[in-house]
Amino acid sequence: MASNGQEPQPNERRRGSVWSRWSVWVLVALVLASVAIPGLINRDDSTQIDYSGLIDQVSDGRINSIVITNETGSIKAEAIDGTIYASKGPIELPETDLQLMRDRNIDVEFRTQRSNPFLSFLPILLPFILIIGFFWWMQRRAQGQMSGIMSIGKSKARTYTTERPETGFDDVAGYKGVKQEITEVVDFLKAPDRFAAVGARIPKGVLLVGPPGTGKTLIARAVAGEAGVPFLSVTGSDFMEMFVGVGASRVRDLFQTARKLGSAIIFIDEIDSIGRKRGAGLGGGHDEREQTLNQMLAEMDGFEATEGIVMMAATNRPDILDPALLRPGRFDRQVVVPLPEFEERAAILRVHVKDKKVDESIDLDTLAKGTPGMSGADLANLVNEAALHAVRVERESISQADFEAARDRVLMGQRRESVAMTDREKEVTAYHEGGHALIATLFAHADPVHKVTILPTGQALGVTMQLPEERHTYSQDYIEDRLAVLFGGRMAEETVFGVTSTGAANDLVQGTELARRMVAEWGMSDRVGPMAWGANNQVFLGEDLVSGRDYSDETARVIDEEVERILRTQEARARQALIEHRSALDRVATALLERESITGDDVAGLIPAPTETDGTPESVDTPPNSPSLDQSGSD
């Protein structure tokens, strides 16, 4: 048991529960033993004989002694030769039989059987035993509920110590820049005295910012593994509960646990779930989330940087975090964990194929070049899909074809075998996808075509997949060519059939959003000018009600007109190109109808070389939440 007021350890509580469970069965066993053991002890090896036979043995003078039980009439007789006879006679023996026994000089003894005292009191004790057992069960149940209520404010953080398998920087492929950023944290935890000697203060908190699946949690665990200190891992949702004040209590308990461990790393995943801006909703300033955040801010101010406790957190929404959380002295440093580059993707793929049986001919560098925009989690899923495809086709090892099939499945979706299109739908889809592929090949700034198919895939009847080059900024010419590619399918239908279909619905959605961002956010309209009107997207309903649109109705009208002008201009470009290359469009559509799927090289061989030689314009920075431009619109 725990002493000195300390709470019992989990092993002690587990042993106590085991003993309490076994004590019930021990008590039952004792009761049964008290009933059964006396009967077993009193058993003997006597020979059964009826009463008349016993009297005959008495008459013949073969019996030496007789013991008669008064209450039951049981008789035990010992013969002269030592044989023990057991019989059952009347409770009151006849006088003639008794006289016969006296005449034969037989030692006759009458006994009164002693009853089991426990069995005598059992009918009286049984109701009390049942009542006591019922109250004991109720008490145990109440204690369990009370212990659950009392522990509701305890932290749910999982503790990883040096006894667990360690994760180091070698287990994190790529991200050399990120590792250099957080190496100081590792050095401080290893040798804090060296920093204290020169008066250096390590950042109290390190915020890992990046898209989902980039390995922020793995990097935080690698820091703990490299530093050799305990690692407390918890998610933001673990602090939230239906009871008021539970989140703040769990925050206090988390920091108290870290202080007991000495040097430690506290890692909070998805911190945006509790770290959102305060006062942004309709519920006032006293809701559970704000109280939890207030307690966390107070705790971060309560420990010194020399204590050896470092806060780490991860989020993919830094824009919604409370400013007080990001100020110096709390989360001093933000480390961006971006999507991996080409070399990093190749390193990540090598890590994930270590435990897979792959062909020696596989070129992971080529595969990495064809997966721009994929995160580490996406690459892990890609390798797993390739392994599943190899098993599906009964191949003993993973080949390059399996990786190609897995990439098509991840980027385009699963093939829908059950969809049966009519000949008319196939023809319209072939010209629609041929229009996308034709414009993408003709226009110099468009992403190269990787594959075109009219097989129903995902939610689309056909897909034109493009693989973009490694880019960090997008030029205006690139975006305009992107819009022209989106309108290529719709314009191909109009050029060939004279009507359009609903297959271009997703293209219109993507194109409208892209054109609006060109005008309202990226300053690519001469009429609107270098002003950003749409970058402050409100997240909370409360802010949306308080702060309205920050531009006038006249500006809104100008924005709408510019969006329409851009869309119609690119639509006209796509229409003109398709009219000029109608024969090439027919050849691409015919190839799709015959083969159902063709590659980008096949498309390039069916149409003339690109005719546009536009100069390269100045580029513009793309915000982190810019739309993905790695695949054409699926129809």
Whether 588 and 472 share a structural domain: yes
CB atoms within 10 A of CB 368: 22
Q: How far apart are CA 10 and CA 2, in angstroms?
A: 11
Whether 478 and 528 share a structural domain: yes
* Polymer length of the chain: 635
Whether 389 and 469 share a structural domain: no
Q: How far apart are CA 278 and CA 542, in angstroms?
A: 11
Instruction: Decide which of 59 and 262 is more confident.
Output: 59
What is the number of domains present in the chain?
4
Supply the CATH number for residue 163's domain. Answer: 3.40.50.300
Least confident of 327-336, 580-589, 592-601: 327-336
Whether 399 and 479 share a structural domain: no
Q: Which residue has the tokens 């016993």?
A: 54
Where does the pLDDT of residue 561 fall: very low under 50, low under 70, confident under 90, or very high at 90 and above? very high
Q: How far apart are CA 356 and CA 538, in angstroms?
A: 45
CB atoms within 10 A of CB 24: 12
Does 141 reside within a domain? no
**182-200 tens-digit pLDDT:** 777 777 777 777 777 887 7
Whether 81 and 170 share a structural domain: no
Q: Annotated catalytic residue: which of 433, 493, 494, 571?
A: 433
Supply the CATH number for residue 449's domain. Answer: 1.20.58.760
DSSP 279: T
Q: Which of 304, 336, 368 is the last residue of a domain?
A: 336
Does 322 reside within a domain? yes
Does 561 reside within a domain? yes
pTM for the structure as a whole: 0.63
Q: According to the model, what pLDDT value does residue 34 have? A: 60
Whether 464 and 553 share a structural domain: yes
pLDDT at residue 565 is higher than 90: yes
Q: Determine the residue type at 80.
A: I
Does 22 reside within a domain? no
pLDDT at residue 16 is higher than 90: no
Does 20 reside within a domain? no
Q: How far apart are CA 563 and CA 565, in angstroms?
A: 5
Whether 372 and 473 share a structural domain: no
Q: According to the model, what pLDDT value does residue 612 have? A: 45
Whether 58 and 164 share a structural domain: no
Does 225 reside within a domain? yes
pLDDT at residue 68 is higher than 50: yes
Active site residue 433: yes
The 3-state secondary structure of 433-499 reads: HHHHHHHHHHCCCCCCEEEEECCCECCECCEEEECCCCCCEEEHHHHHHHHHHHHHHHHHHHHHHCC
Q: According to the model, what pLDDT value does residue 458 have? A: 72
Q: According to the model, what pLDDT value does residue 508 have? A: 93
Token reading at 25: 């069965």
Give me the domain span that covers residue 72.
47-111
Q: According to the model, what pLDDT value does residue 59 have? A: 81
Q: According to the model, what pLDDT value does residue 435 have? A: 93
Answer for the pair 262, 351: CB distance below 8 angstroms, yes or no: no
Q: Which of 350, 383, 412 is the last residue of a domain?
A: 412
Instruction: Decide which of 115 and 541 is more confident.
Output: 115
Token reading at 354: 């270590």
Instruction: Decide which of 139 and 492 is more confident.
Output: 492
Where does the pLDDT of residue 552 fall: very low under 50, low under 70, confident under 90, or very high at 90 and above? confident
Where does the pLDDT of residue 620 fall: very low under 50, low under 70, confident under 90, or very high at 90 and above? very low
Helix/strand/coil for 464? strand
Whether 235 and 292 share a structural domain: yes
Where does the pLDDT of residue 532 fall: very low under 50, low under 70, confident under 90, or very high at 90 and above? confident
**415-464 tens-digit pLDDT:** 777 777 888 888 999 999 999 999 999 998 898 888 888 888 777 788 88
Among residues of the chain, what percentage have pLDDT more than 90?
13
Supply the CATH number for residue 60's domain. Answer: 3.30.720.210
Long-range pairs for 496-504: beta carbons < 8 A, 24 or more residues apart: 496/431, 496/585, 496/589, 497/428, 497/431, 501/428, 501/432, 503/428, 503/429, 503/432, 503/461, 503/462, 503/635, 504/432, 504/633, 504/635
- Bridge partners (DSSP) of residue 85 are 47, 77
Cβ contacts of residue 493 below 8 Å, gap of 6+?
428, 431, 432, 435, 499, 500, 501, 503, 504
Average pLDDT over residues 404-419: 77
Instruction: Decide which of 239 and 177 is more confident.
Output: 177
Instruction: Decide which of 85 and 539 is more confident.
Output: 85
Q: How far apart are CA 634 and CA 457, in angstroms?
A: 9
Whether 168 and 283 share a structural domain: yes
Whether 433 and 496 share a structural domain: yes
Does 330 reside within a domain? yes
pLDDT at residue 302 is higher than 80: no
Whether 221 and 282 share a structural domain: yes
Token reading at 252: 């206090």
Does 497 reside within a domain? yes
Answer for the pair 454, 599: CB distance below 8 angstroms, yes or no: no
Which H or E run contains 63?
A: strand 63-69
